[in-house]
Structure 1
Amino acid sequence: MVLLKALDGCYGDGPDAIAVDGVTLSREQLLGAAGVVAARIVGAPALAVLARPSVETVIATVGGLLAGVPVVPVPPDAGPKEREHILRDSGAPLLAVAAADRDVEAYGARVLTVDPAERGDAPAEPADGAAFVLYTSGTTGAPKGVVLGRSAVAAGLDALAEAWAWTPEDTLVHGLPLFHVHGLILGVLGPLRTGGRLVHTGRPTPQAYAEAGGSLYFGVPTVWSRVAGDEPSAKALAGARLLVSGSAPLPVTVFERLRALSGHAPVERYGMTETLITLSTRADGERRPGSVGLPLAGVRTRLVAEDGGPVPYDGETLGELQVRGPMLSDGYLGRPDADAESRTADGWFRTGDVAVIGPDGFHRIVGRASVDLIKSGGFRIGAGEVEAALRDHPAVADAAVVGAPDPDLGQVVVAYVIPDGPVTGEQLTAFVAERLSVHKRPRRVVLVEDLPRNAMGKVLKAKLG
């Protein structure tokens, strides 16, 4: 399955088809520089890439795909232990870097310096095989390598192009990390498959987004919160076609402020490293705050109760979300045990996320079953519902809810809240109790200055407490 359709000469080739942090490349220049990388790595079992937001990262990624060598993005801020684990576990003998990083510790791999000025003949892109090995966040142990095949990536991007009406006329703007699905596969390979331009802003600041002049914008909730808080920047996005939010739930207050200032109700979508994107609201459909919409083309979903039985699609009953579709990964690298745990006997992928599905098929993600499903006094409480209620309070900037052990109730609801004005825990508890069932109210509220997050803006709940 050819992934890089926009590099085959059938699309226009402006001098700034790819722009990353102010450095521009035409498609011809990108193909030539990537051809040099491909020639140097052909036959390698994998190519690790120190994935800074740079044209060198894009060149190395394209070079790996052209050579048929699986690309292993390495977070640039990974600590020594994490970087060593990724390099050794993936078996990558080469680490591609920009010239400024040529002295980086590569833990036995050979450092390959990428030069954007070099030019070489690009080989024909292979039709099948693994495209990427992406490492999970490692919140429950050492990161696992997720093997994504070329056909899965192509199916995922094509399904998004259909849902979002993504065409060669679009200019995609984002400033997301290039070592995750969101920033790299959607945010770089998307334009290289659809034929549109890419503007990566280096850092995802409101001002950079406002000045980029794009038609399609990607962001995580932290980015959109900052844009929504900068009125001139948010209003400057009025000329865009679509704003897309993902990687974590978008607070309803941010959704509504973006709509008020820019005129655009954001599209929200859901996916995982192991599945790519499987759910989304559509460019031509309804966009509800807090909802990730409907299954993409080719995707099937179901909700499963703790006893393995079906869950009614009533918009209220919680269940574990399971998915099937052509964009699912090939599994975990060298981890048959993890593969067995993540798949059901009849072939569904266990996402580990708790969700509800309405009678009209719209999906709402409540959170991770491991940390966001709270069992208190015989009730099953979704942390995401309580978090959404807290965020509706005018003196709350953000909130994270967890379950804490309790000898009487099993667990109690504990809320960590970033205040945006004078407020007390008692007031917030009463506020939630007025809007949700009384048993869902926080039994304890902790006011904090910030919440621990990963690079994509997800709250690291294991660090709360």
Structure 2
Amino acid sequence: MEPLTALGARDADRADAVVIDGYAMSYEQLLGAARAVAARIAGAPAVAVNATAAPHTAVAVVAGLLAGVPVVPLAPDSGPAERGHVLSDSGAALVLHGVGEPDDVFGGVATLAVDPAERGEFGGKEPAADATALVLYTSGTTGPPKGALMSRRAIAACLDGLAEAWEWTADDTLVHGLPLFHVHGLVLGLLGALRTGSRVVHTGRPTPQAYAAAGGSLYFGVPTVWSRVAADPAAARELAGARLLVSGSAPLPAPVFRDLAALTGQSPVERYGMTETLITVSTRAAGDRRPGAVGLPITGVRTRLAGEDGSPVPHDGVSVGELHVSGATLFDGYLNRPEATAASATADGWFRTGDMAVIEPDGVHRIVGRASTDLIKSGGYRIGAGEVENALLDHPAVREAAVVGAPHPDLGQQIMAYVVADGVSEQDLIGFVSDHLSAHKRPRIVRFLPELPRNAMGKPLKKLLPPLEGPSGEGSGGRG
């Protein structure tokens, strides 16, 4: 049970060791239910799990780990085409789902209802450390979703590195309300607790009120969750007794960082990772917490910055490069995609994240955006959209911001900002950014929108932003 060492630890009979949307289980009960399922799925090439925020998801995932059967988490809100692709591509022989959940939406794949109240025994052998534990499907922004093969060893290395960085122990109570079909909610938010032995409370929906009532020492959230918590001062103050507030999956706006610090008495910890790498970089519990910074590589991980020609980029806090990662937490490749796997690595074996970053002289990392959408080349400068977005969000009238590069006949690209704001003009915001950043990083165009298009994790979908109207270089006008 390499990734699940805490299931046999002290307090295994604590009745509320695992609480998911109000349903409580002890480690002992979770293990008994998982053994019953493991006995049924043993020998399967892979099983999918309809990963709703419900207790059957925890039981099913643990069952797969016990049986050595790769688990394929299915997003419960995925459409028929995406769901069909994942089931076909993964070769899942069964779909595990909750009792009473519909079982006729999986395209003819056999199903098995998982009852958390069931108990059973399983005597299978311990799977090898390099065996595939999870097949995590990417978001599919550049084509159909690809299945990233995550080994038991990689998951264990990630969780041990984070336990060290965050001083995460069996004495903690972890609280979160994140989806259980991706790295943040499933690997960190469930398997992390089962490895460290901490109690875990999944709140169902991640509302400020639910977080405030949970009484945790360790909280996980995405920026959207933390923004809502900061907007509810009474709920935020209830988190003052927590030991650590962790934010990830998207950059945390600097104003939210500061509001949380003021309301809870502590600055949040930010971390960075990807489906293919798990979590690789994090601020330490005892380290310096800076807005916009994601900290240092965890134990077992190395990072570097590379220019477009592959040359090293200095760690000077200014120069932008693509972040490359190497180490124990990396995936074993994309399922059935040897070409994509090869393309994701450099000639010397480092993983190309596709994210642009800056590394300070002291080694602290700042992620400034995706190379495909957030690296803006303007007048010979390489500018990360994230830095400009954070500057805009520092303006008290700006609630949301997304920055892109728009074509320009002289500069190559010009900085264009989309904002959700009231009572401020285009020129006000251009001047505000100029006062905070270098002049070449100021937006030349600001467009006002009622809201930004976002995905389920709260990340702006820049490809869905309205295109530039009018000749290149012509502003869109402000709104008073």
TM normalised by structure 2 equals 0.95
Identity across matched positions, percent: 67
1:427 paired to 2:420: no
CA distance in 2, matches of 1:294, 1:110: 44
- Aligned residue for 1:218? 220
Letter paired with 2:76: P
- Pairwise CA distance, 1:9: 4.4
TM normalised by structure 1 equals 0.98
CA distance in 2, matches of 1:367, 1:267: 19
Matches within 5 A, 1:224-243: 224-243=226-245
- Aligned residue for 1:175? 177
- Pairwise CA distance, 1:10: 4.1
Q: What secondary structure does 1:353 align onto?
A: strand
CA distance in 2, matches of 1:183, 1:249: 17
Cα-to-partner distance string for 1:350-392 (whole Å, 9 max, x where unaligned) = 1111001111111100010000001122221110111011001
Asked if 1 retains the 8 angstrom alpha-carbon contact of 2:73 and 2:181, the reply is: yes
- Aligned residue for 1:439? 440
- Aligned residue for 1:460? 461
Asked if 2 retains the 8 angstrom alpha-carbon contact of 1:353 and 1:368, the reply is: yes
Cα-to-partner distance string for 1:130-169 (whole Å, 9 max, x where unaligned) = 0000000111111110000000000000000000000000
Q: What secondary structure does 2:63 align onto?
A: helix
Asked if 2 retains the 8 angstrom alpha-carbon contact of 1:168 and 1:196, the reply is: yes
- Pairwise CA distance, 1:11: 4.2
Moved more, 8-17 or 341-350: 8-17
Asked if 2 retains the 8 angstrom alpha-carbon contact of 1:366 and 1:383, the reply is: yes
CA distance in 2, matches of 1:13, 1:321: 44
Asked if 2 retains the 8 angstrom alpha-carbon contact of 1:352 and 1:369, the reply is: yes
Asked if 2 retains the 8 angstrom alpha-carbon contact of 1:177 and 1:455, the reply is: no
Asked if 2 retains the 8 angstrom alpha-carbon contact of 1:93 and 1:108, the reply is: no
Cα-to-partner distance string for 1:311-362 (whole Å, 9 max, x where unaligned) = 1111000001001110111011111111111111111111111001111111
- Aligned residue for 2:470? none
CA distance in 1, matches of 2:393, 2:313: 28
- Pairwise CA distance, 1:433: 1.8
Asked if 2 retains the 8 angstrom alpha-carbon contact of 1:38 and 1:123, the reply is: no
- Aligned residue for 1:43? 43
- Aligned residue for 1:94? 94
CA distance in 2, matches of 1:287, 1:123: 46
Of residues 256, 260, 264, the one that matches 1:258 is 260
Q: What secondary structure does 1:193 align onto?
A: helix
Cα-to-partner distance string for 1:97-132 (whole Å, 9 max, x where unaligned) = 112223331113101111112110134542330000
Taking only aligned residues, the RMSD between alpha carbons, in angstroms, comes to 1.2
CA distance in 2, matches of 1:104, 1:224: 36
CA distance in 1, matches of 2:257, 2:122: 43
CA distance in 2, matches of 1:103, 1:303: 47
Letter paired with 1:373: L
Q: How many residues align?
A: 464
- Aligned residue for 1:321? 323
Asked if 2 retains the 8 angstrom alpha-carbon contact of 1:171 and 1:196, the reply is: yes
Asked if 1 retains the 8 angstrom alpha-carbon contact of 2:9 and 2:197, the reply is: no
- Pairwise CA distance, 1:438: 2.1
- Aligned residue for 1:158? 160
CA distance in 2, matches of 1:146, 1:332: 5
- Aligned residue for 1:126? 127
- Pairwise CA distance, 1:457: 1.6
Q: What secondary structure does 2:3 align onto?
A: coil
- Aligned residue for 1:287? 289
Cα-to-partner distance string for 1:184-217 (whole Å, 9 max, x where unaligned) = 0000000100011010000000000000000000
Moved more, 234-243 or 424-433: 424-433
Q: What secondary structure does 1:332 align onto?
A: coil
Asked if 1 retains the 8 angstrom alpha-carbon contact of 2:139 and 2:145, the reply is: yes
Letter paired with 1:79: G
- Aligned residue for 1:65? 65
Matches within 5 A, 1:20-419: 20-124=20-124, 125-128=126-129, 129-419=131-421
CA distance in 1, matches of 2:108, 2:88: 8
User: Where in structure 1 are there 5+ consecutive unaligned residues?
Assistant: none
Moved more, 138-147 or 430-439: 430-439
Letter paired with 2:445: R
CA distance in 1, matches of 2:298, 2:13: 30
Q: What secondary structure does 1:370 align onto?
A: coil
Asked if 2 retains the 8 angstrom alpha-carbon contact of 1:66 and 1:123, the reply is: no
Asked if 1 retains the 8 angstrom alpha-carbon contact of 2:283 and 2:295, the reply is: yes
Asked if 1 retains the 8 angstrom alpha-carbon contact of 2:97 and 2:103, the reply is: no
Letter paired with 2:182: H
Letter paired with 2:221: G
Asked if 2 retains the 8 angstrom alpha-carbon contact of 1:228 and 1:261, the reply is: yes
CA distance in 1, matches of 2:452, 2:47: 34
CA distance in 2, matches of 1:222, 1:365: 18
Letter paired with 1:209: Y
Asked if 2 retains the 8 angstrom alpha-carbon contact of 1:4 and 1:193, the reply is: yes
Moved more, 399-408 or 312-321: 399-408
Letter paired with 1:68: G
Structure 1 runs of 4+ aligned residues shifted over 4 Å read none
Letter paired with 1:148: M
- Pairwise CA distance, 1:408: 3.3
CA distance in 2, matches of 1:16, 1:173: 13
Letter paired with 1:247: S
Asked if 2 retains the 8 angstrom alpha-carbon contact of 1:354 and 1:365, the reply is: yes
